[in-house]
Chain A
Amino acid sequence: MYATADMLLTSTQAHAAEQSKEPVIEVMLVRAVLEGDRDSFGRLYDLYAPLVHGILLARVPRAEVADLVQDIFLHAFKKLHTLRDSAAFGPWIAMIARNRAVDFHRRSKETVEINDDLRGSDTHDSKAREILELIRSLPEAYRETLVLRLVEGMTGPEIAARTGLTAASVRVNLHRGMKLLREQLGVMEGL
C-alpha cells in the first residue's frame, strides 16, 4: 500500500522541474512587492490563497476561514520585509496561517462555537462538513495534507512545493491519512 523508496525518488525527480518553476515566480513577485509594486502582492495572493484556505479549513470553523485568509495576507504584506529568503514565501505564509489558527483557538476558548449543522443547508454540503469533521479528527500531519489534496484539489507535488515539505513526507502523509480516513468512513457508514 505504501510507496516504496524507489517510487518516491522517481516521483521526486519527475516533478523536480515543475516544482522549481514556482519559487522563481514567487521570488520575482516578492522582490517586486518589496520594491513597491503592490499589484504583485495580488498575484501572490491568487497563488497562495488556496493553500492558506486549506490550512485554516483543517483547523478552524469554516465560517471564520474567509476572514482569517484576508487577515493573514494583510499581515504578510506588512511583514514581508522580514522574509529573509524570497523563495520561502509559501512555507512562511503557511507557518503564519498555522500560528493564526492556534491563536484563534486560544482566544475563542470561552466562546461557544456555533455548530455548522444548525445553519441548515443542502444535504451535499452537510455531507461535506461531516467528512471534513472526520478529517479534522485525524492527526495534524495528515489532516492538512488531505484537505489540500481533497478540498483544494492540489496535487502532491504542488503541496510539497508550496508548504516547503519534502515530496516524500507529503506522499507518506497522503497515503497514511487516506488510509485512516477510509477506516473512519467505514465506521461512519457502519453506524
Chain B
Amino acid sequence: MKDDYLWDKTGQPDPEIQKLEEILGTLRYEPRPFVLPRRRNYFPLLAIAASILLAIIAGSIWLRVRSGDEVPPQDAKLESPTPKPLEAPQPPRTGSALNPPLHASNRIHKPRSAPSVVNDEEALAAKEQLMLALRITTEKLSMVHRKTQPNQIKNQHRIG
C-alpha cells in the first residue's frame, strides 16, 4: 500500500515520495563530531593551596617552639636588688570570696617558668611530631596525585 510507504517505508513505494526523498536527502544531517568541553582539573590548585596552608602552619609552630626556647633577657634585669618594703596589713575584703572584685583578679600573674631541659625535650618532641605529620601529608598528597594522574590520561585519550 502507498500509505505504508509514507509511514514506515514498507509496501509499494510511491514514486513521488521517493523523488522527494532523493531531492530533500541532500539537506540531511551530516554527522559531525560532538566535542564536550574539557572537565576542569582542580587537583593542582588544591595541592598548591594545601602546601601553602601546611607551610604556614609549620612555620607558625616552629616560631612558637623557637620563641619558647629563648630566655627573655630582661627577666633577670627586672628583679631589683633592693628589698621590697613590707606591705601594710590590708583591710578585710568587702567582696565575697566567690566573687572577688575585678581589679584584684587582674593582678594575679602566674610566675613564668624558667627554661629548662624539659622544655627543650618537649620542643624536640613537637618538632618530631610536626615532621612526621608533614611526611604523612606529603605521602598522601603524592598518593592522591598518582591516583588521579591515570584518569586524566584516560580522559584525555577519550576526548582526543
* Chain A residues close to B by CB (< 8 Å): 1, 3, 7, 11, 15, 38-39, 41-42, 45-46, 49-50, 53-54, 57, 62, 66, 69-70, 73-74, 77, 124-125, 127-129, 131-132, 149-153, 155-157, 171, 174-175, 178, 181-182
Contact = CB atoms under 8 A, between A and B. Distances in A.
B24 A150 contact: yes
30 contacts: A7-B3, A11-B8, A38-B39, A39-B158, A42-B36, A45-B34, A49-B32, A49-B34, A50-B28, A57-B27, A62-B27, A66-B32, A73-B34, A124-B26, A128-B23, A128-B24, A128-B27, A131-B24, A132-B24, A149-B6, A150-B24, A151-B25, A152-B29, A153-B21, A153-B28, A155-B8, A171-B7, A174-B7, A181-B20, A182-B16
A178 B23 contact: no
B64 interface: no
A39 B31 CA distance: 16
Chain B interface SS verdict (over half): helix
B53 interface: no
A62 B28 CA distance: 11
Interface in B1-26: 3, 6-9, 16-17, 20-21, 23-26
- Counting from the closest, the 8 A-B pairs by CB-CB distance are A53-B29, A156-B7, A45-B34, A50-B29, A155-B8, A151-B24, A150-B24, A128-B26
B21 A150 contact: yes
Contact of B36 (A46, A77, A131, A152): A77
Given A46-B31, A49-B29, A151-B27, A157 B8 contact: yes
Nearest to B32: A66
Residue picked from A15, A53, A150, A153, most chain B C-beta under 10 Å? A150
Given A39-B158, A77-B36, 17 more contacts: A38-B36, A38-B155, A46-B31, A49-B31, A49-B32, A50-B28, A57-B27, A62-B27, A70-B34, A125-B26, A131-B20, A131-B23, A150-B20, A151-B24, A153-B21, A157-B8, A174-B7
